[in-house]
């Protein structure tokens, strides 16, 4: 049977999709990128914001409308928080809550009576990652979080921390590497807390991956700026560990961070980043910021803006706070008006764009190895345009002759300029 998998939300959702795709292939099924042609569609939903909830509902309805004969399987945070989902939206055949995600393939096969071919009989084709048009693998190393930030619904939907064993993670990476994957991203709900339940930590995991696999490039997804093991940044002396971390700040005001129940004050955050930049050449820090958290005064907002300016992030994911029922923050007094949140968001977007442009310009005329991922034919020339990332996670693009194939290759380039959009760098291959 043909199976289509799609997701909304975080890199963790993407990592889960990859494991499910592999599981279905091992049972003899075919992974397709065309939802309209699929016999079974798996949707991994998100509930991090009310907008994510809305998009999850729209995706479920649209999928059923466009392919009403397909069996529809729903999982993820939205479906786990909404027990009445199947009664509210037509066309759902199976809901797999988050605590059963590890068994989604088996549950789907059993509940939907999907035929199964023994894995030994399946033809050894390319990895499901390539079949889904991806080159980077997202590796789920843990799930859940033991902390309770007041705005976060994900910790409620995902539950307590559960870490995978180092051996299991290394086996998965070695399998993907043998099939041609050059880069993997470690992801989870609380990546920095990896191993808290199995008597190890993130330092041990990364050290083991670098010594027991041949993976050329290893990255970290979002990591909370606490619980990082001692000597953590020493790991980056191995150039296979890419010099970039996404460290969520959420606010540059300590009083707002306290209302958020964040465990890292601004001084601690700045000290962490200063250490990283001192010890790791070209280290790049990106972050998340929530605008208009309940009770955020103009004074607190200005404190946040000044701290962000001082820290000089290369990229900021900006979220205007939206009330999320079920969280403590939803009941806090002095909710900030939509008008004020929009005004502050515009201000932060402008600052973020200035910092990004300044950061990108520092890379002009420098050389970097880039893993080239996607490609497209340009409209105005006969060239093929490829996109990829430098080790420190700057998005690069390059135009080459149509007979040159760069996909999934790591090739050195020289940075020539910053794109007019202010988001990408332009490059040329080094002969």
Helix (H, G, I), strand (E, B) or coil at 334: coil
Identify the pLDDT of residue 8.
87
Q: Which strands sit side by side in the sheet containing 244-246, from one edge to the other?
A: 244-246, 284-291, 315-320
| Domain boundaries, given as residue ranges, for the chain | 2-121, 132-361, 367-429
**Could you tell me which residues come within 8 angstroms of residue 211 by beta carbon, excluding any fewer than 6 positions away?**
none
Write the CATH number of the domain with boundaries 132-361. 3.80.30.20
Fold classification of 2-121 is Rossmann fold (3.40.50)
**What is the distance of C-alpha 140 from the center of its chain?**
11
Continuous H helices in 82-236: 85-88, 104-111, 128-131, 154-158, 166-178, 202-212
Q: Give the number of other CB atoms < 10 A from CB of residue 244.
A: 23
The answer to whether 46 touches 76, Cβ cutoff 8 Å, is yes
Positive or negative torsion for Cα 129, 41, 102, 22? negative
Q: How far apart are CA 295 and CA 303, in angstroms?
A: 14
Q: How far apart are CA 168 and CA 102, in angstroms?
A: 13
Q: CA-based diameter of the chain, in Å?
A: 66
Identify the pLDDT of residue 375.
76
Q: How far apart are CA 166 and CA 172, in angstroms?
A: 10
Long-range contacts of 227-234 (CB under 8 A, 24+ apart): 227/190, 227/192, 227/193, 227/196, 228/192, 228/202, 228/272, 229/201, 229/202, 229/203, 229/204, 230/203, 231/203, 232/202, 232/203, 233/275, 233/276, 233/279, 233/280, 234/279
Long-range contacts of 165-168 (CB under 8 A, 24+ apart): 165/198, 166/200, 166/204, 166/205, 166/208
**What is the distance of C-alpha 155 from the center of its chain?**
16
The answer to whether 370 touches 410, Cβ cutoff 8 Å, is yes
Q: Give the number of other CB atoms < 10 A from CB of residue 356.
A: 19
Q: How far apart are CA 130 and CA 136, in angstroms?
A: 9
Q: How far apart are CA 289 and CA 303, in angstroms?
A: 13
pTM for the predicted model, two decimal places: 0.87
Identify the pLDDT of residue 354.
96
Identify the pLDDT of residue 131.
53
Identify the pLDDT of residue 351.
98
| b/e burial code for range 44-76 (CB count within 10 A of at least 16 → b) | bbbbbbeebbebbbebbeebbeebeebbbbbbb
CATH architecture of the domain covering 367-429: Beta Barrel (2.40)
C-alpha distances in angstroms, 374 versus 133, 183, 315, 339, 407? Answer: 8, 14, 21, 38, 6
Identify the pLDDT of residue 257.
98
Identify the pLDDT of residue 154.
85
Identify the pLDDT of residue 122.
41
Per-residue pLDDT of the chain (431 residues; tens, 9 = 90+): 999 999 987 888 889 998 999 899 889 899 998 999 999 999 999 988 888 889 999 999 999 999 999 999 999 999 888 878 877 899 999 999 999 999 999 999 999 998 876 544 344 445 556 555 667 899 999 999 999 999 998 888 888 899 999 999 999 999 999 988 999 999 999 999 999 999 999 999 999 999 999 999 999 999 999 988 879 999 999 999 999 999 999 999 999 999 999 999 999 999 999 999 999 999 999 999 999 999 999 999 999 999 999 999 999 999 999 888 889 999 999 999 999 999 999 999 999 999 999 999 999 999 999 999 877 666 556 788 999 999 999 999 999 988 889 999 999 999 999 999 999 999 999 98
């Amino acid at each position: 049977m043909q199976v289509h998998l799609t997701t909304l939300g975080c890199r963790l959702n993407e990592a889960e999709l990859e494991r499910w795709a592999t599981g279905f292939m091992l049972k003899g099924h075919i992974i397709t990128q065309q939802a309209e042609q699929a016999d079974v569609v798996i949707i991994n939903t998100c509930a991090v914001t009310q907008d994510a909830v809305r998009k999850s509902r729209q995706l479920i309805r649209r999928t059923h409308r466009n392919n009403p004969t397909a069996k529809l399987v729903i999982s993820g945070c939205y479906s786990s928080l909404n027990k009445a989902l199947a009664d509210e939206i037509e066309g759902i055949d199976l809901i797999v809550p988050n605590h059963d995600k590890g068994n989604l393939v088996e549950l789907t096969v059993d509940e939907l009576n999907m035929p199964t071919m023994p894995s030994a009989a399946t033809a050894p084709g390319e990895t499901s990652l390539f079949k889904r048009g991806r080159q980077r693998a997202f590796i789920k190393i843990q799930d859940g979080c033991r902390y309770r930030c007041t705005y976060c619904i994900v910790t409620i939907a995902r539950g307590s921390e559960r870490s995978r064993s180092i051996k299991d993670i290394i086996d998965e990476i070695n399998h993907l590497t043998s099939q041609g994957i050059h880069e993997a991203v470690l992801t989870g709900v609380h990546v920095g807390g990896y191993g808290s339940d199995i008597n190890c930590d993130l330092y041990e995991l990364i050290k083991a991956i670098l010594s027991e696999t041949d993976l050329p490039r290893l990255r970290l997804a979002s990591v909370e700026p606490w619980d990082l093991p001692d000597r953590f940044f020493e790991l980056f002396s191995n150039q296979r560990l890419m010099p970039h971390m996404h460290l969520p700040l959420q606010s540059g005001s300590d009083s707002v961070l306290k209302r958020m129940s964040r465990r890292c004050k601004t001084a601690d955050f700045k000290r962490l980043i200063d250490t990283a930049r001192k010890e790791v050449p070209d280290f790049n820090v990106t972050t998340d910021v929530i605008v208009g958290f309940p009770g955020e005064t103009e004074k607190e907002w200005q404190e946040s803006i000044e701290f962000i300016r001082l820290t000089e992030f290369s990229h900021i994911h900006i979220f205007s706070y939206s009330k999320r029922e079920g969280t403590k923050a939803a009941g806090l007094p002095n909710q900030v008006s939509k008008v004020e949140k929009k005004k502050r968001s515009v201000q932060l977007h402008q600052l973020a764009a200035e910092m990004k442009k300044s950061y990108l310009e520092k890379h002009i005329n420098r050389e970097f190895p880039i893993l080239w991922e996607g490609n497209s034919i340009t409209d105005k020339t006969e060239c093929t345009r490829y996109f990829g990332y430098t080790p420190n996670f700057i998005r690069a693009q390059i135009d080459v002759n149509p007979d040159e194939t760069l996909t999934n290759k790591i090739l050195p380039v020289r940075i020539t300029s910053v794109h007019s959009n202010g988001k990408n760098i332009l490059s040329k291959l080094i002969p």
